[in-house]
Every structure is written in structure tokens, then in C-alpha cells.
Amino acid sequence: MTPPAFSQTRTADGPLLFISGQIPLDAQGKPVDGGIREQARVVFQQLSAILDAEDYSLADVVKLTYFLTDMADLPQLREVIGEFFEDPKPASTLVQVSALIDPKFLVEIEAIAARRTDQAKSRQS
């Protein structure tokens, strides 16, 4: 049996970082060509860069919200989630939408990260 691609709950004991929905854009700001796997990888890379800039990491993500235009893409999305997250995976919500801001977008992902207390203390020192 395939392990779940999410956790039902994640506790947070440090400062929170809320990341707005990220869409699959290339370096020139154009929609990424390709299917759900490529688009999801680009979005997770963007999330990773945003987290890094704020001194967080993907391991600090406690909640993800996925907006997916086609539920048939869910198995491929789960595979990509497994490439970026170890257990315990973030809690998550999946929302099927009829469309995103550009018809070429297949997925949008927003995130909440929580700095662990030991990290918060070391940053303040």
C-alpha cells in the first residue's frame, strides 16, 4: 500500500510563515510547459527558494493547500510530493478548481511553515 502523501495533523511551536499560492512560472515569468509533474516540481522549487530566503526549509512546512484543475493528475502530484517531502509530510488540503488564473496552469500550491522552537531561539541569539 502506498503511504499517504500528507499527514492529518502537524503541530507548530514556532513563528509561522504563510506563503501565497505559487503557480508554475519559468524564469521569464511565462507558464511552464509540460504536464502536472513538471509544473508541480517548478512550484515546489519556488516554494523551496521562498522558504530559503526566509531561513526556513521544506522540512518546516506544516500545511499545504493544493488547487488542482484535474483530479486525474492526483497520482502524479503525489509522486512529486514524495520527491520533496519526507515523513511526516505536511498536513494538506486538496481543492479541485475549474480553472486557475491561466488556462495553462494545472496546479497552484500555497504553504504554511513553522519554525521549530530550537530554531527560533538560535535566530534570536
What pLDDT is attached to residue 124? 45
Question: pLDDT over 70 for what percent of the chain?
Answer: 82
Which one, of 56, 23, 28, lies nearest residue 40 by Cα?
A: 23
Does 64 map to a domain?
Answer: yes
Average pLDDT of 88-113? 97
Does 79 map to a domain?
Answer: yes
Domain with residue 27: its CATH number is: 3.30.1330.40
Q: What global pTM score does this model have?
A: 0.84
Task: Say if residues 34 and 87 touch (Cβ distance below 8 Å).
Answer: no
Does 2 map to a domain?
Answer: no
Q: How does pLDDT run across 6-48, given as a tens digit for each residue?
A: 666 566 666 899 999 999 999 999 999 999 999 999 999 999 9
What pLDDT is attached to residue 102? 96
Domain of 104, in residue numbers:
16-124
Separation between Cα atoms, residue 1 and residue 68, nearest integer Å: 24
Does 101 map to a domain?
Answer: yes
Does 5 map to a domain?
Answer: no
**Reduced to 3 DSSP states, what percent helix, strand and coil does the chain have, rounded to the nearest 5?**
35, 25, 40
